[in-house]
Structure 1
Amino acid sequence: MQQDKSVTINDVQAAQKRLLGIAHLTPVLTSTTVNERIHSQVFFKCENFQRTGAFKFRGAYNALAQLSEAQKHQGVLTFSSGNHAQAIALAGKLLNIPATIVMPDDAPAVKQTATRGYGAEIILYNRHTTNREELAQNLASDRNLTLIPPYDHPLIIAGQGTAALELIQEVGELDLLLVPCGGGGLISGCAIAAKALSPNCRVIGVEPELADDATRSFHSKTLQTVTNSNTIADGARTPYLGKITFPLVLNYVDDMVTVSESAIITTMLFIWERLKIVVEPTGVLAAAALLAGVAKAPGAKIGVIISGGNVDLGDWGLGIGDWGLGTGDWGLGTGEGVMGKG
């Protein structure tokens, strides 16, 4: 494994100290049903319980906290489908930094509402006709704002890595760590932490089949792109890995795999039903790889990062007046998918 010095375990540990008392120390859950089915010991690191409902707050606060006073006064700008948007908005509110968010107009309503609720300005765009990076760069330049990208930033990556750092500090060394992958910030940071604290741990990133750019990039060792993916896992619709995250993934990650849309949906419903927690489609990518048998490690000690829980229940026909709907009533019952109801 080559050493990439752009982000190190020292950066992740420094981020952990910076986040102490600010970010939530999220719970680690286990399930007897899952352990029996997988024939392994599985630990779910539940970032759906993080502030703003996703791991993104870790990196956002770590990055904003280290801006100069002049940068803080002027404000920041980012582009995001939702979770990073909320994280930057809340971190900005806590640090008294004005935040502007470039967000696709089809981003889940729950994420748009939450982002505005934290006081950020939202600028919507059509993802099919507009390049979000160019739009964000132009706006940042015109308004003299500091651009904080959602994943391709050393301080963002270091902050995200604290999720795996906490997990291993709590449960001990792992044989396998499964991590959702969009732009690569979470898996890069987590892989750096895992390799430092648990050197024999294999780290596997998980993407949707419909947004498999990182998987193809990893196996071809050449940066690949996916344009306008329509995967249900909206947080993984990033078109490509970043200039910083791509080499980190190549250096620290052991494998990349993909999961189907049906596996994502079935796993999400299973976790709602069995672990009794609300998770979003992107949040269950890693769990889907394990439960669908895409990633296998019988008899192993496995960590699974659940990356977020910002799901718009209205999109699933579960409005407040719709009580009494079991998972089987959606046409997506846990017994009908990739794994039977245990």
Structure 2
Amino acid sequence: MSFQQEIIKWYKINKRSLPWRDTTDAYVIWLSEIILQQTRVEQGLPYFNKFLENFPTVSDFANASEVQVLKLWQGLGYYSRGRNMLFTAKQVMDEHSGVFPVRYEQLVKLKGVGDYTAAAISSFSNNEAKAVLDGNVFRVLARYFGIAEPINSTQGKKTFTALAQSLIEGQEPSIYNQAIMEFGALQCKPKSPACQICPLQLGCYALQHQKVEVLPVKLKTVKVKERWFNYFVALKDGHILTKERKAGDVWQHLYDFPLIETPQAASLGVENFRQEIENLFGKAAKIGLLMQKKHVLTHQIIYVQFFALDNYIVNFKLHTEIKSVLLEEFEALPHPKVISEFMELHVRN
């Protein structure tokens, strides 16, 4: 039995029952694919259901506001995906008369849709013979065929793309693509894969040469930046101070609290930090530490401190980015995960 046949046979027995597998609707498949980027199925499934319930068609999505989309997206991370989805929905309405495209060459031109996503949508909705290459597929191919070229190198991408495309020829694309992705997710896992019960074990290069923990190879290119955020929580008479995060930085267009970012960890005993607080909130402002948290992102580690703020004065004409809103209004806005978690612990209880 060939590599492809073994994968498909395994898939038909072991595949998970997932809602986007029961449709050829390109819009629904697009929703699932974007939501599941950088996200485990278990985490992404409730978000998929929420989005489909709120926006059952691409037209409904296109008519949404950014605030609505980001609020539904809250907690998933990589918020640019949510903003790109709104742009894409409008793009489909304008350029494709509201009909979500199913051909690879059209899909790849949509904002936020790269080669992998275009291949997935076109093969699942239209049975187009375009091979998918995500982390799961890279891992299966690298281990089984013994490919040591880094998956994120230029030559490595060419090698894997050519191999993946050769394997899909002569197969039913929608089944084969889903089968190899599912195989990587459930069977050929990153750590502690179930090699002893794997149907591919006899032909697997990595298993035969003790390379399972080595393959695939990935170049380390991410440089992590450390930042220190000091938030000030001012809750008074049912109102709370907030501000919208601007474009060009992490969490753009989400809402958090007034913030002083410092070049290193700050404490109220540090003169410069205290002076910045007084400049923003007045000399009589009372400050108390509520909580500290380390928030890890892909390219950044953010050390967060939350301070209770009382007896403050804010010059709203000078600091136009700060607003005082009803607590209910604030809760309806989209927040970074670190803010929503703080609210859950210290405000809603």
TM-score, length-normalised on structure 1? Answer: 0.21
Higher relative contact order (CA 8 A, sep 6+): 1
Pair member with larger Rg: 2
TM-score, length-normalised on structure 2? Answer: 0.21
